[in-house]
Amino acid sequence: MRLTGYLLTFAGALCATAAQADEITGERDGEALVYRVGGFDSVGLGIPASVDIRVGPDWSVRASGPANALAELRVERDGRSLQLRPRNGWRNTNASLARQVRVIITMPQLASASIGGSGRMAVDRVTGESLRASVGGSGSLALGTVAVDNLAVSIGGSGEVTAAGRAAQLTVKNSGSGRFAAPDLRASGATVSAAGSGQVRAVVDGPATVSLAGSGMVDLGRGAKCTVRRAGSGRVICGS
């Protein structure tokens, strides 16, 4: 019930936002569609497609796949956010077709990446002050090389976020059975909240606050100096 409510809330937010967003019409380029849009620093994925985000000097958005699969995709600009949504609403999406869509996005800076549903997103590298990463549902988000002051990760459902690199401060909220798998991510400090059977793994070289409820697992490595609040059968690994 909690996951269903989460997904319904997420879908409702998508619909409400869609009414305020501007659709970007794709231009045919061979078998692909090119979307002339720029000025965004956030990407949201609400369709079970695959998205690759690359850092570059300018913006570009290119979608490829069979024509009937591309017909499932709606691209919108909402403020500074690029949204990839199901054209006919998430209830009427042909998931098998949508999975054949691949979108390649180039952008100078990424501040926020979010997935609602079962989509897949991969980011080559992120630098800057902060990054917000969220997955709701069974989707997967892979952060290649991170170098930020603040990394905030939110997982609701059975999805997964992976990351490598460095963050001065790491904040993770895992409220389902999903995983934050980042054994190659080092942080100077962390705040972790986990409820359910999910897992959180990273390397923290400094103070960390951990709140764990349920049967999940939090592993912050031997260098973490943790303050722990725990309820349930879950496990916290900190320090030597």
pLDDT of residue 150: 99
26-45 confidence digits (pLDDT tens): 999 999 999 999 999 999 99
The answer to whether domain 1-109 and domain 110-240 are alike in fold is: yes
Rounded to the nearest angstrom, the gap between the alpha carbon of residue 128 and the centroid of all alpha carbons in its chain is 17
Sign of CA dihedral 30, 72, 134, 234: negative
Q: What percent of the chain has pLDDT over 70?
A: 91
The two three-digit tokens of residue 150, written as one number: 């603040």
pLDDT of residue 119: 98
Which range, of 87-91, 106-110, 162-166, averages the lowest pLDDT? Answer: 87-91
Instruction: Tokens 């609040």: give the residue.
Output: 229
Query: Average pLDDT in the 20-30 region?
Result: 92
Nearest CA to 107 out of 127, 136, 129 is that of 127
- What pTM was computed for the model? 0.90
Name residue 1's beta-bridge partners: none
Asked whether residue 235 carries a pLDDT value surpassing 60, the answer given is: yes
pLDDT of residue 10: 46
pLDDT band at 20 (very low <50, low <70, confident <90, very high): low
Average pLDDT, the chain: 93
CATH code for the domain defined by 110-240: 2.160.20.120
Asked whether residue 208 carries a pLDDT value surpassing 70, the answer given is: yes
Domain 1-109 has CATH 3.40.190.10: no
Look at strands 27-29 and 32-35 and give their pairing.
Answer: antiparallel
Asked whether residue 105 carries a pLDDT value surpassing 60, the answer given is: yes
User: Where are the domains positioned within the chain?
Assistant: 1-109, 110-240
pLDDT of residue 88: 86
